[in-house]
Structure formats: C-alpha cells, structure tokens
Amino acid sequence: MLQSKLFTKTKKDAPSDETSKNAILLYRAGFIHKELAGVYSWLPLGLMVVNKIKEIISQEMEAIGSSEIIMSTIQNKEIWEKSGRWDDEKVDVWFKSKLKNGNEVGFGWSHEEPITEMAKSFVSSYKDLPIIVHQFQNKLRNEVRAKAGVMRCREFVMKDMYSYFKNEEELNNFYNNCIDAYMKVYRRIGLGDMTYVTSASGGVFTDKFSHEFQTVCEAGEDNIYIHKIQNLAMNEEIFNEETLNKMNLKKEDFELKKAAEVGNIFNFGTKKSEEMDMYFTDNDGIKKPVYLGSYGIGVTRLVGVIVEALSDEKGIVWPESVSPFSLHLISLAKNENGESYKKAKDVYEKLKSQHVEVLFDDRLEKSAGEKFGDSDLIGIPMRVIISEKSLAAGGVEIKERKSQEKNGEIISMDQFLHMYLKDC
Ligand code: ATP
Ligand code: MG
C-alpha cells in the first residue's frame, strides 16, 4: 500500500475526552475513529489488525473441530424468555427496540440462547452430536461505563464459540482442548508470556470454576492473583481460604496484578439445555439433556491490550503476527526523479509482486522527521529506509521498531532483498 494513498493521516492529538493509552495511540495513528463513548469504527490499518487476529483465532478454533457461522444481531425476545435472560434485572446490558408492529426485539449482547435454539433444530439423536460452532460478531452492550478505549465498548467484536456434547466426559475433553487452543492464540498474537489461565467462579461441574484468560496489564479492570511458581492464577472473587485449602495452595505464594480479561470459557453442563429444552435420544434409547459449553474471546479488546502492553513512548509496537504490514519502506526522496526514489519504488514493486505486506511511505512533501515519527507511531515491526545517504553508505538502512537505537543498520540492497524475496 502507498502511504500517499492512505486516507487516514496521523494526528498530533486525540480528542480531549480520550484518556486511555490504547485509544489515544490507535486514534492518533489512524487505526480507529471514535463515534461516541465506547463506540469506535475500524479504519484500514485497524481493520487489518482485527482481521489478522480473527484469522489466527479461526485457525485455532477450526483445529479443535469448530465450524464458522454468523448469527444475526437482531434477536427474538421469546427465545431469551425461555432462560429468563430477557429480563433487564438479570441482564443489565441489553439494547432493545421494537418492530413497527410493536413486537420487541433485542440486539445481541451474547448468542447462547439463539445458537442453542438453532442447534436444537439439528439434534434429535446422539448421532447428531457433537455440534461445535463459532462466529465473529459485533456484540452490542449497554455498558454503564465505557472508559478503557477499545477495551470496554458498547459495540465490539467478539469471537464466541458454543459446543454441544452428549456427555460430560466429551464436554470436559473439549473444554480442556479449548484452554490449549486459547493459549495458542494468545501466544501467536504476542501476549503469551503475560496471559494466565485464571480460575473464576461460576462453573457448574466438580471443581466449581469457570476459566478466564487474563493478560497482565495496568489498564485492565480486574485484579488477579498469580502463583509465583506454578503457572496458574485466580480471580479475586475466588481468592479466599476455602479455595486455597481446596487447591492445596498457600496465600503467600501469590502476587496481585492488574489484568484485562481477554477470554472466558464456561462449562454449563446440562443447565442451559434444560432451560432451553434441548434433549437427544442416546444409544440406550433414553432421552437426555445436551452438555453445553460456551467460549468467548474479546477480539477488539485484544487490539487494545496489545497496544497497552507493547507500546512505548513513541507509539505502537505491533507483533509481526498481527501487524497491518510486515515492512515499512520509507523513501526520503523529495522528488521522483532522483536515484533514491527510483530504487525505493523498484523495491516496493518487487516486494508487492511477491505478496510481502509492505507500506511504502512515498510522500515527497514530508520531512524525514515527520516520516520517522509516523512510522514509530504506526508501529510496523520492521522499517527499511532508502535514501541518498543509505545508498552512499552501501545500501538500505533497516531497523526493528522495538529497537531503542537511534540509527538502524546499513545492509546491501541484495542482502535486504534476500531477506524478503524468495527467488532473487
Ligand atoms: P467483562 O467481565 O470484562 O465485562 P464479560 O464477563 O462480560 O467480560 P463475556 O460476556 O464472557 O465477558 O465476553 C467474552 C469476552 O468478550 C470477554 O472475555 C472480553 O474479552 C470481551 N468483552 C466483554 N465485554 C466487552 C466490552 N464491553 N468491550 C470489549 N470487549 C468485551
Ligand atoms: Mg461484561
């Protein structure tokens, strides 16, 4: 992509009511546009990041047997009444509206009930199970406060997955596979070292826990207790004598950290299927309730957490796997006729022909300082500068975004092309 053609421009300042670091940086770098508090639009660079995260999640969910679907945002009140969750007293984030004929509808803040209703229509026998589906959906939630930028929104992208099994053992098995798949996702997007499988209240089975995935992050809203030796953590709600005794752990072995919930998995057992009347006939001829699990990942919250966790004073630092581009090619030429512009353009064409994801700063009117500032703010992991100076020094200047050095390293043009092109 040519930077001169990118319609977004970097901005010096964010709106004055924007106080969170992730929103300020994403806004200034041109990744998001603010519609209203807690509601953001995703612009080309931002959408590229969202799509990369979605692709990684999709791969890992498909690897454990899930198929992708997409459910509607407008939801049927009657389906939610079956579980009692239409009630605003039970669910305090509903956005609701009315059809012209006066019938009430809801906007999806979650999809457990509608998906279960859909899955029900395909299940009568044990032979019809399991069903495992996931989707990427814009969830709408009337959150009281939207204060942490893209981390707590009134409209946000969630990956939600639902599983339907014929017995507890199969569900538990899948649940554990899902924990592994989630950790693979967090590792692949660069948050592995900071993310903990965290026990929380709310499970229905033997250990009575559900699991949250918490990424250590100052801007997070949660407090978690991390075990100093074992790789485990507990949500503050369950961090008490009773749980510690049950798990045979000592209070003093834990340390308290601020964290953001980046995922959440839930074993419902047969509770939800009993509410929703989802039964199947087993191979012994007996009618039984289906075992249900639900599994969420906050896709757009993750973008915020990555920015919070990995940025520096100059701007964003994307991990390679989710960066909008893998390379930021910068020409310092002031006109198109000189040697350095032609070389840069030629390199850009070569990279593009081999599908290297490259953003080419071809803007002739911008100063070197402005270009470097923009590049630091946007945060592409690798930068290559082609200028009269670099050519005179023997080639191109390369520098990793995360490097704290002032200058990059000069390497020959051939060496550089070898790094990125297969056949040269
Ligand atoms: P939280 O405790 O943060 O409100 P939740 O318990 O409501 O989260 P779920 O309903 O299980 O979370 O949603 C699944 C995932 O979606 C969460 O783990 C989180 O990463 C993300 N998420 C939840 N609410 C929001 C929001 N308002 N804005 C952005 N992401 C969210
Ligand atoms: Mg919530």
Is the CB of 317 inside a 6 Å radius of any atom of ligand 1? no
Ligand 1: nearest atom to the Cα of 297: 15
Measuring from atom 16 of ligand 1, which residue has the nearest CA? Answer: 298
Cis before residue 130, ω within 30 degrees of 0? yes
Contact 185, 265 (CB under 8 A): no
Measuring from atom 5 of ligand 1, which residue has the nearest CA? Answer: 264
Distance CA 220, CA 217 (A): 5
Q: Choose the residue to mutate in 110, 113, 223, 261 for probing ligand 1, maximizing ligand atoms within 8 Å of C-beta.
A: 261
User: What are the pLDDT digits (tens) for 166-213?
Assistant: 999 999 999 999 999 999 999 999 999 999 999 998 765 546 689 999
Is the CB of 141 inside a 6 Å radius of any atom of ligand 1? yes
Q: Say which amino acid occupies 231.
A: N
Is the CB of 153 inside a 6 Å radius of any atom of ligand 1? yes
User: What are the pLDDT digits (tens) for 282-295?
Assistant: 999 999 999 999 99
Distance CA 78, CA 85 (A): 10
pTM of the model: 0.96
Q: Which residues face 212 on adjacent strands?
A: 198, 264
Q: Which residues face 233 on adjacent strands?
A: 198, 226
Ligand 1 centre distance from Cα of residue 101 (Å): 33
Measuring from atom 11 of ligand 1, which residue has the nearest CA? Answer: 264
Alpha helices (H) along 261-367: 271-276, 299-310, 339-353
Ligand 1 centre distance from Cα of residue 275 (Å): 23
Distance CA 374, CA 409 (A): 20
Report the CATH number of the 15-310 domain: 3.30.930.10
Same fold, 15-310 and 327-420: no
Cβ-based neighbours of 79, under 8 Å, separated by 6 or more: 113, 114, 117
Q: What separation in angstroms does the CA of 421 have from each of 22, 357, 359, 360, 416?
A: 34, 12, 16, 16, 9
User: What are the pLDDT digits (tens) for 372-402?
Assistant: 999 999 999 999 999 999 999 999 999 999 9
Distance CA 321, CA 324 (A): 9
Cα-Cα-Cα-Cα dihedral sign, residues 409, 413, 415, 417 = positive
Cα-Cα-Cα-Cα dihedral sign, residues 19, 21, 22, 25 = positive
Is the CB of 301 inside a 6 Å radius of any atom of ligand 1? yes
**What residue spans define the domains of the chain?**
15-310, 327-420
Is the CB of 159 inside a 6 Å radius of any atom of ligand 1? no
Confidence at residue 424, expressed as pLDDT on a 0 to 100 scale:
57
Is the CB of 296 inside a 6 Å radius of any atom of ligand 1? yes
Q: Choose the residue to mutate in 111, 301, 303, 306 for probing ligand 1, maximizing ligand atoms within 8 Å of C-beta.
A: 301
User: What are the pLDDT digits (tens) for 260-278?
Assistant: 999 999 999 999 999 999 9
Class of the CATH domain delimited by 327-420: alpha beta
Distance CA 273, CA 281 (A): 14
Distance CA 348, CA 329 (A): 8
Distance CA 295, CA 292 (A): 10
In this prediction, residues 238-251 reach a mean pLDDT of: 92
**Which ligand is located closest to the Cα atom of residue 142?**
1
DSSP 183-218: HHHHHHTT-GGGEEEEEEE---STT-EEEEEEEE-T
